Chains A and B, each alone.
Chain A
């Protein structure tokens, strides 16, 4: 009888590497098969892919840079006791406040991830971070103006902001009700949290973290030291999250190369089908929330108002590259939840709008 040995960290690391290599080989094989069976010139496909990749990456990278810099500034100048002081003590109210934080941290969906990770490190409750993560790409002044310019003051503008706020708060409340940091965050993110809150009680509910970190607030930095530290932190964060952005962009560009927008838009119409299709389009397109209102104008005469609102709400919350970036902060199953819950909530609201509100 062969004795069983407990699996150590080396074994797990080997398995992980094996899985990653297997995934890369599988994806590469699938791509090659797709290219060879598509009947199109591989050079043309490569050109399309390159254009799409650069289009998404160049659009997103500056926002990631801004987000990373905001993250650096938070790391340097925001102390855990600031978060504790400014956040409402009532966790429900705090979640609502989290959904409105975008007006103070106006970042795109690429930039919000490092900011949230940094804020978690400063003791931000899970539910507030999730609400901020989902709402900030839309609930901010830049996107407000862009949407106003594209649609004017009307149902689309109102629907986008109200629904985004409601979905972000709803998902945040789900996290508030049951999520503990160890259920939610990746070990690397968790370790930052531990440093910030040595007595925070990681097993307890999230409000405890805030109370605990307030007691261990470090001294404030000088302006010069703070900026220097912020720059270094921003560089670290940019490259740390940048790899997820690159992988996410590769996936999004690949999807766009093989599945054209026209094909997707032909898939469905009507009050239900149009919502599903535009949610899928938003997920695949992975465009930044600052420009998606203008892109969505092309759908106005083809799709229902509910579907347009779904596109404008769901896309900034969850798309391919955002999911990849989420996976740098959250556990994989939580990334799945961050996809599933907004998708279902937006779908419900958009279908209800289509079937019940004449717009």
Chain B
């Protein structure tokens, strides 16, 4: 049978279907030949507008997997920022190496021509703008009453703090995530001495309980710098064993893995003989330090190889890890001739275990607290010179040259807690007015939250009757 005969034997229906099918194939070919008028799209980009944080990452999510090498050369910012590039699926992530100064306007551009793995191209230039907002400071309020909740003060508009949490039972302490988008806080449970950690997402207001400490106190959370993990203190209350004379457990460090849901928690050390409190991560996230009361030493756990270093000290604090994690500044206590005690600062090099004194003051001087500036070059310390005043003042100390500069001078105040903002220019300071304006002991004094510009030494009060200030970048 010839082809023509076969065609004629087909029914009208068969022929119609054949013609329609051929027409559709033709239309498909025509559509393809007319070409791509859409190209690869940028689905989402950020940050946008005026709410960017100084530590914000610049993100661009593409509509499909990209040839990554083709994107990076076409990416630019104005003014130019240095930083590192990473990818999360289809999302391009640029992390500036230094925090962007508040008030800076940034224009981000992606020139046309970036290529997807499929061969599609970004057909037009993509641009967006954002501004870095002034940082804010979160703190607990009121210091002289209950329940204490988290409040936030805008450094550009001090005095107008807003309440962030509304816990009826009160918040014990808290920590702001490195990117400033979340706050983890320890909330007192009702009257049984237990505490649980809760995670508050600031943009959405979503609140998630991330521990289940039925008979334990879980508090003092600290974020790993990548924001994926939280370390915290945990004390088992052993309520069911109280009649047998068994009390609470010593404090141990536990961790929370935030990358999975439900959030997974486990002890930092499988060896229960290792205790710890006051955990802190190095800024690069490679080391975690804590104070082991059983051992009487600061423990430094290298998270890259699991090694453990112990630095004996009687201070009871975990010191301050340098941002690169290679050095630890900590205090050591010395008994004074008059039966009192004073502290001085030491610096341990964790690479070679060398320990040197970075302050070796006479007995009238007491160095209590050290906080590294984010660039790791100098540190702010709390020093009390009893020959001059009764309170602690803040000094900037260069650990290499041991040069020191006093940056707070008001003798009425003692400066008890302070923390650098991500740019390293400002300090949030928790101060207490020990003396009144006449130089007499201040019986009605309330703690205050201040911001100190370490370049101009200008101080701005942000809130009264607050404590535990934390930067919200």
Closest to A352 in B: B31
Q: Is the CB of B64 within 8 A of A341?
A: no
> Chain B contacts of A178 at CB under 8 A?
11-13, 15-17
Supposing A183-B11, A344-B24, A354-B38 touch, asked if A274 and B16 sit within 8 A by C-beta, the answer is: no
Q: Is the CB of A356 within 8 A of B38?
A: yes
Q: Does A223 contact B (CB under 8 A)?
A: no
Interface contacts beyond A305-B63, A348-B24: sample of 13 additional A-B pairs, CB < 8 Å, sorted by A: A178-B12, A269-B117, A272-B32, A301-B90, A333-B14, A341-B20, A344-B21, A344-B25, A348-B31, A351-B31, A355-B32, A355-B37, A356-B38
Q: Which of A86-137 contact B (CB under 8 A)?
A: none
Hey, what's the 0/1 contact readout for A322-343 against B, CB within 8 Å counting as 1? 0000000000010001001100
B interface residue numbers (CB < 8 A to A): 11-17, 20-21, 24-25, 27-28, 31-32, 34-38, 41, 63-65, 89-90, 116-120
> Chain A contacts of B15 at CB under 8 A?
178
> Chain B contacts of A183 at CB under 8 A?
11, 13-14
Closest to A338 in B: B17
Query: A179 CA to B28 CA in the complex, in Å?
Result: 25
Q: Is the CB of A274 within 8 A of B118?
A: yes
Query: A271 CA to B37 CA in the complex, in Å?
Result: 11
> Chain B contacts of A352 at CB under 8 A?
31
Closest to A354 in B: B38
Query: A121 CA to B32 CA in the complex, in Å?
Result: 43
Query: A269 CA to B27 CA in the complex, in Å?
Result: 21
Q: Is the CB of B28 within 8 A of A270?
A: no
> Chain B contacts of A271 at CB under 8 A?
36, 38, 118, 120
> Chain A contacts of B118 at CB under 8 A?
269-271, 273-274
Q: How far is the CB of B121 from chain A (nearest CB, A)?
A: 11
Closest to A305 in B: B63
Q: Does A347 contact B (CB under 8 A)?
A: yes
Q: Does A298 contact B (CB under 8 A)?
A: no
Q: Is the CB of B28 within 8 A of A358?
A: no
Q: Is the CB of A356 within 8 A of B90?
A: no
Supposing A272-B32, A347-B28 touch, asked if A174 and B38 sit within 8 A by C-beta, the answer is: no
Q: Is the CB of B28 within 8 A of A348?
A: yes
> Chain A contacts of B89 at CB under 8 A?
301
Q: Does A204 contact B (CB under 8 A)?
A: no
Query: A139 CA to B12 CA in the complex, in Å?
Result: 30
> Chain B contacts of A345 at CB under 8 A?
24
Q: Which of A177, A270, A305 contacts B16 (CB 8 A)?
A: A177
Query: A356 CA to B35 CA in the complex, in Å?
Result: 9
> Chain B contacts of A192 at CB under 8 A?
none
Nearest first, the 7 closest Cβ-Cβ pairs linking A and B are: A270-B118, A344-B24, A269-B118, A178-B16, A178-B13, A179-B13, A183-B13
Q: Does A38 contact B (CB under 8 A)?
A: no
Q: Which of A174, A304, A358 contacts B64 (CB 8 A)?
A: A304
Q: Does A302 contact B (CB under 8 A)?
A: yes
Q: How far is the CB of A310 from chain B (nearest CB, A)?
A: 12
Q: How far is the CB of B60 from chain A (nearest CB, A)?
A: 14
Q: Is the CB of A358 within 8 A of B117?
A: no
Query: A304 CA to B14 CA in the complex, in Å?
Result: 34
- 27 A–B contacts, CB within 8 A, in A order: A177-B16, A178-B12, A178-B15, A179-B13, A183-B14, A184-B13, A270-B64, A270-B118, A270-B119, A271-B120, A273-B118, A274-B118, A301-B89, A301-B90, A333-B14, A337-B17, A340-B21, A341-B21, A347-B28, A348-B28, A348-B31, A351-B32, A354-B36, A355-B31, A355-B32, A355-B35, A356-B38
> Chain B contacts of A337 at CB under 8 A?
17
Q: Which of A184, A302, A357, A358 contacts B65 (CB 8 A)?
A: A302
Q: Which of B16, B119, B120 contacts A174 (CB 8 A)?
A: B16
Q: Which of B24, B32, B41, B119 has the most chain A CB atoms closer than 10 A to its own CB?
A: B24
Closest to A180 in B: B13
Hey, what's the 0/1 contact readout for A261-296 against B, CB within 8 Å counting as 1? 000000001111110000000000000000000000
Hey, what's the 0/1 contact readout for A175-199 against B, CB within 8 Å counting as 1? 1011110011000000000000000
> Chain B contacts of A274 at CB under 8 A?
118
Q: Is the CB of B32 within 8 A of A357?
A: no
Q: How far is the CB of B218 from chain A (nearest CB, A)?
A: 35
Query: A163 CA to B185 CA in the complex, in Å?
Result: 50
Query: A348 CA to B117 CA in the complex, in Å?
Result: 23
Hey, what's the 0/1 contact readout for A3-37 against B, CB within 8 Å counting as 1? 00000000000000000000000000000000000
Query: A124 CA to B14 CA in the complex, in Å?
Result: 21
> Chain A contacts of B21 at CB under 8 A?
340-341, 344
> Chain B contacts of A273 at CB under 8 A?
118
Query: A273 CA to B117 CA in the complex, in Å?
Result: 12
Q: Is the CB of A270 within 8 A of B116?
A: yes
Query: A341 CA to B65 CA in the complex, in Å?
Result: 31
Query: A78 CA to B37 CA in the complex, in Å?
Result: 51
Query: A226 CA to B116 CA in the complex, in Å?
Result: 61
Query: A178 CA to B17 CA in the complex, in Å?
Result: 9
